[in-house]
Chains A and B, each alone.
Chain A
Amino acid sequence: MATSSLIADVTDNRPSNQEATVDLAGEGRTAASSGLKLFLWALAAASVLGFIGIAFRFINDGGRQEWGYYAATLAFMMTVFGGAPIVAIAPAIAKANWARPAARIASLASIATAMTALMMIPLLFKLPPLTVFSEALGDDIRRTSIWFDSPDYAPHFWNVLILLTLALAGLAMAYLMALPDFAAIRDHGSGWKQRWGKKLARGFHGRPQQWEWLKMRIGVTGAFYFAILLFANFTFSIDFAMSLVPGWKDAILPFYHTISSMQAGIAFTILGIWAARRWGGVSKYVGHEQMWSLGKLLLATTLLWFYFFYSSFIVFWYGRTATDTLTLKLLVSGPYIYVFWTVFLLAFIAPWWVMIWNKVRDSVWGPPIAATMVLIGLFFDRIRLYVASWSAEPDNLELAKLSMLEKMPDTVWPDVFDVFIMVGLPAFGLLGILLVTRLVPVVSLWEVQQSRLITKPIRFMRTHVMLVGKPD
């Protein structure tokens, strides 16, 4: 017996397409509330402090180890903002319908990635050269690096290029994913929003060819973004951390960096959804289903964090060669042991224990709690990796060539300017994202509408189920 004879239509309580258009692109969008304005000003003030911090580092430069917190902050920003767009890409490839309302929040993180790429430029001047002339040997000595033959401008220029490519790919994807919404703002908005919508919609009127063109472009930029994200994590984690420490050879680090980037990106999206529901007036469009699905992904990536960490740890711990022991001491049990335990607790144990319960995952408050812990934990993780690396300056270059860390550096504590940087730069990134959301709806209108088109609540004999279309 064919299934279609067992099903019947039921009334659909979800907001209609017209309602959604009004809410997300038309009169439903009000001017910024006074609370939001205050928050934006606070972020701006924090950003200024951040730049003061950077300026002070330049004026009063006390050596490479003083730049560790700056590097860690940028690494953290790249981790979070670079990883978030994956939430917009991966479920789309797997044809998962639930992710649609969360895709916008995730893709907008690219704005902050672009800002991170620009803020990395000052740090490049502090990255040591690949080769140094040694008086004792009368020859150049090169430090370990993935740029084996030291091509011109390596690694400095290439890192900016890679990170900018990442940012551009992300921005292109975010723009393409917002294109139909700009058209909706053009048609239904008013004032400056409408003018911008008109400019940015580029004559999009929703003809089938235009949709085909758009879907194709989103797919290509998405795949490209994913590839370049892996590559950016690869070069960044090695050039800005591993290769600064003589003897640290850890092939899993780039993947560890990437997987924690995805973990952070998911956490960021969860918090974004929570904030958008709380203050953005979109609780009708995004919520429980997204939290539940993202919560599962957060749990999975949290477990993977431990897996990648342990895979590297056990090899060093068993190896017990001099460099193995020194690496473990520098990154885990030595000057940053308390930082490490914070990471272990907040990036793994606590979110794992919170998210393992179905009741917590299945709520709108549980995943944000875990996400907050993950983000704090991963900030400490970047401090552990980058501050430690930037402090490990070899006194003796000949020893550095032997791949041996000569002496264990002391713990580097942040001064007040480091605190400015750690607070100010992420605030600056967040400010950029929030300003853009004044124009771009935080929930993608066309994806909500498409989702409504291809899913339908139905009655199946005596029960209610959802019919989900799987377009090719």
Chain B
Amino acid sequence: MQQRRILDEFTINRELLRGNLNTPKWWLPTVLGLLVVVLFGFTLMGIMFNKGVGVTGLNRPVYWGLFITSFVFWVGISHAGIMISAILRLTQAEWRRPVTRAAELLTVFSLMTALFFPLIHAGRPWRIFYWITPFDFSRGIFPNPRSPLIWDPFAIGTYLTGSTLFLYVALLPDLGVLRDRTTGWKHSFYTVASLGWRGNPRQWRLQTVAGILLSALMLPIFVSVHSIVSWDFAVTPAVEGWHSTIFAPYFVIGAVHSGVSAVVTMMALMRWLWGWENYIRPEHFDALARLLIVVATGWLGFTFVELIFGVYSLEAPERALREMQMFTWPWNLLFLIFFLCAFAIPVPLWFFKRVRNNIAMMFWTSILVNIGMWLERFLIIVPGLARKQPFVFTWDSYTVSYLEWGLLLWSFAWVLMLMLLFSKFFPLIPLFETKESQLFTMDVKIGRANMPAVIRE
């Protein structure tokens, strides 16, 4: 805990506004490179809208494939933000401070990405408005709120709106800092965006209360979102392996696992790209890795119980599905990779302090987790559908088409590009949280020992 350095506000401003006030050399080429991939992805979408969903690998009986898997995956990643910023804010964990903004940002952008997938999956996205919004008064046809598929837009819409506002409110003091450091049109932009922030006690007090109140409001939303996504599957008795009561918390904890790992990935990138060694320190990775050990073990417990209950009632079709999912080629290979990546490799490694404090190791293990967690969703969704079902007369597997792979690639480039664009205009590490941390933490002497201490009001 002795890694903290005492920094004054001037230095904090200079270092943390590096990306905003002086653009790094790598920034423009990287954004342009990502833009090419993003445009390529939009082209693929255009091709799909023109030709129809037949250009994907989706076919009877597997109607939900890579798009829906990626939808669940990105909604999962979005759980990072609120997990980190709300729970750690409420428990007053001091190490949350440099992480919160990046985590909230990941929430917003990954949700925006997640939303694309069901839209393009529908093939004719504009028609989705028929089943979400009640506007067709002329024909008297209205959405059906009994369908779990309509719960998703409400849940994700709420989560996206809420986290965007949460992000904005916490950005106000930092926008004030940027306003004071810029000139010209940028100054005008930040003046309006900061709403005239001055930093008087009333504004700071509201900022603190807002952090707590919004965290408390966002937490129940965060839990509901992935639960509702899970019910898309769980309320369907017809597909084996889906109709399980455990799905809601199982999806939520899986989402936290992948989301917190994504935050680790992102923090490592931030440290490397912007040289924020003073702010994103090994101790933060250590704390996140400890958190991940707990989350991953909890997630494993849910996975275990989910599998146990898959075979609990000893129904032949259910057992056959599990056999296919775990022991039949090629699913067994995917299952093995999934298990190794999501748990068996990273978690034992995190038990070592040297790994937890090694940023490169944390970066690679967190990427492994997300490869594993993407496969987890794939293995939940596709094998169940690929087996013969009541009311379905075919039994066939699913091959992912190049177009779908291309769109998966697009989603990563899209999120990264949005992040980099954001980093140009707004600070990725909250300045005021960093300054507050400088003010509120200190080392105290007890006897001959130095101990880190925090001020509590």
A contact set with B: CB distance below 8 Å:
1-4, 94, 96, 144, 146, 148, 230, 234, 247, 249-255, 303, 307-308, 311-312, 314-316, 318-321, 324, 403, 453-454, 456, 458, 460, 465-472
Q: Which residues of A contact B457 (CB under 8 A)?
A: 465-466
The answer to whether B313 and A144 have CB atoms under 8 Å apart is yes
Give me 9 A-to-B residue pairs in the complex whose CB atoms sit less than 8 angstroms apart, sorted by A's number. A3-B442, A250-B245, A251-B312, A252-B249, A253-B245, A255-B302, A321-B243, A465-B457, A469-B446
The answer to whether B456 and A466 have CB atoms under 8 Å apart is yes
- Given A144-B313, A251-B305, 5 extra CB contacts under 8 A: A3-B440, A148-B311, A311-B227, A467-B455, A470-B94
Closest chain B CB from A223 CB (angstroms): 10
Q: Which of B93, B94, B244, B453 contacts A251 (CB 8 A)?
A: B244
- Closest chain A residue to B294 by CB distance? A93
Q: Which of A230, A247, A249 contacts B301 (CB 8 A)?
A: A230
The answer to whether A249 and B8 have CB atoms under 8 Å apart is no
Q: When A308-B249, A470-B452 are in contact, do A315 and B1 touch as well, CB less than 8 Å?
A: no
The answer to whether B94 and A465 have CB atoms under 8 Å apart is no
Closest chain B CB from A220 CB (angstroms): 14
- Closest chain A residue to B248 by CB distance? A311
> Is B184's CB within 8 Å of the partner chain A?
no
The answer to whether A315 and B244 have CB atoms under 8 Å apart is yes
Q: Which residues of A contact B441 (CB under 8 A)?
A: 3
- Closest chain B residue to A311 by CB distance? B248
The answer to whether A321 and B456 have CB atoms under 8 Å apart is no
- A456–B444 CA distance with the chains assembled, in angstroms: 11
- A308–B249 CA distance with the chains assembled, in angstroms: 8
Chain B contact residues, majority secondary structure: mixed
The number of chain B residues with a CB under 8 A from chain A is 46
Q: Which residues of B contact A403 (CB under 8 A)?
A: 313, 315
From A253, A318, A465, residue with most partner B Cβ within 10 Å = A318
Q: Which residues of B contact A458 (CB under 8 A)?
A: 455
The answer to whether B6 and A146 have CB atoms under 8 Å apart is no
The answer to whether A319 and B235 have CB atoms under 8 Å apart is yes
Q: Which of B237, B243, B312 contacts A146 (CB 8 A)?
A: B312
Q: Which residues of B contact A251 (CB under 8 A)?
A: 244-246, 305-306, 308-309, 312
Q: Which of B223, B306, B454 contacts A470 (CB 8 A)?
A: B454
Q: When A1-B8, A4-B442, A403-B315 are in contact, do A315 and B454 touch as well, CB less than 8 Å?
A: no
- Closest chain A residue to B454 by CB distance? A468
- Closest chain B residue to A403 by CB distance? B313
- A401–B94 CA distance with the chains assembled, in angstroms: 55
Closest chain B CB from A206 CB (angstroms): 14
The answer to whether A3 and B451 have CB atoms under 8 Å apart is no
Q: Which residues of B contact A472 (CB under 8 A)?
A: 1
Chain A contact residues, majority secondary structure: mixed
Q: When A146-B312, A468-B453 are in contact, do A234 and B245 touch as well, CB less than 8 Å?
A: no
Closest chain A CB from B448 CB (angstroms): 12
Q: Which residues of A contact B357 (CB under 8 A)?
A: none
Contact residues of B between 235 and 251, Cβ < 8 Å to A = 235, 237, 243-249
The answer to whether B223 and A307 have CB atoms under 8 Å apart is yes
The answer to whether B452 and A255 have CB atoms under 8 Å apart is no
Q: Which residues of A contact B94 (CB under 8 A)?
A: 470
> Is B117's CB within 8 Å of the partner chain A?
no
From B227, B243, B315, residue with most partner A Cβ within 10 Å = B243
Q: Which of B234, B312, B451 contacts A469 (CB 8 A)?
A: B451
Q: When A454-B451, A465-B457, A466-B455 are in contact, do A252 and B246 touch as well, CB less than 8 Å?
A: yes
Closest chain B CB from A286 CB (angstroms): 18
> Is B91's CB within 8 Å of the partner chain A?
yes
- A311–B233 CA distance with the chains assembled, in angstroms: 12
Q: Which of B243, B313, B315, B451 contacts A319 (CB 8 A)?
A: B243
- Closest chain B residue to A142 by CB distance? B314
Q: When A94-B91, A318-B235 are in contact, do A255 and B451 touch as well, CB less than 8 Å?
A: no
The answer to whether B312 and A303 have CB atoms under 8 Å apart is no
Closest chain A CB from B10 CB (angstroms): 12
- A315–B234 CA distance with the chains assembled, in angstroms: 6
- A324–B457 CA distance with the chains assembled, in angstroms: 51
The answer to whether A234 and B305 have CB atoms under 8 Å apart is yes
In the A-B complex, list the 5 residue pairs whose CB atoms are closest, starting with the nearest: A318-B235, A251-B246, A251-B309, A311-B248, A312-B245
Q: Which residues of B contact A460 (CB under 8 A)?
A: 455
Q: Which residues of A contact B93 (CB under 8 A)?
A: 94
- A307–B250 CA distance with the chains assembled, in angstroms: 12
> Is B169's CB within 8 Å of the partner chain A?
no
The answer to whether B237 and A319 have CB atoms under 8 Å apart is yes
> Is B410's CB within 8 Å of the partner chain A?
no
Closest chain B CB from A115 CB (angstroms): 28
The answer to whether B444 and A469 have CB atoms under 8 Å apart is yes
The answer to whether A453 and B8 have CB atoms under 8 Å apart is no
From B6, B220, B305, B442, residue with most partner A Cβ within 10 Å = B305
Q: Which residues of A contact B227 (CB under 8 A)?
A: 307, 311
Q: When A254-B305, A311-B227 are in contact, do A467 and B249 touch as well, CB less than 8 Å?
A: no
The answer to whether A144 and B312 have CB atoms under 8 Å apart is yes
Contact residues of B between 283 and 332, Cβ < 8 Å to A = 301-302, 305-306, 308-309, 311-315
Q: Which of B308, B451, B456 contacts A471 (CB 8 A)?
A: B451
- Closest chain A residue to B224 by CB distance? A307
- Closest chain B residue to A254 by CB distance? B305
Q: Which of A2, A234, A315 contacts B243 (CB 8 A)?
A: A315
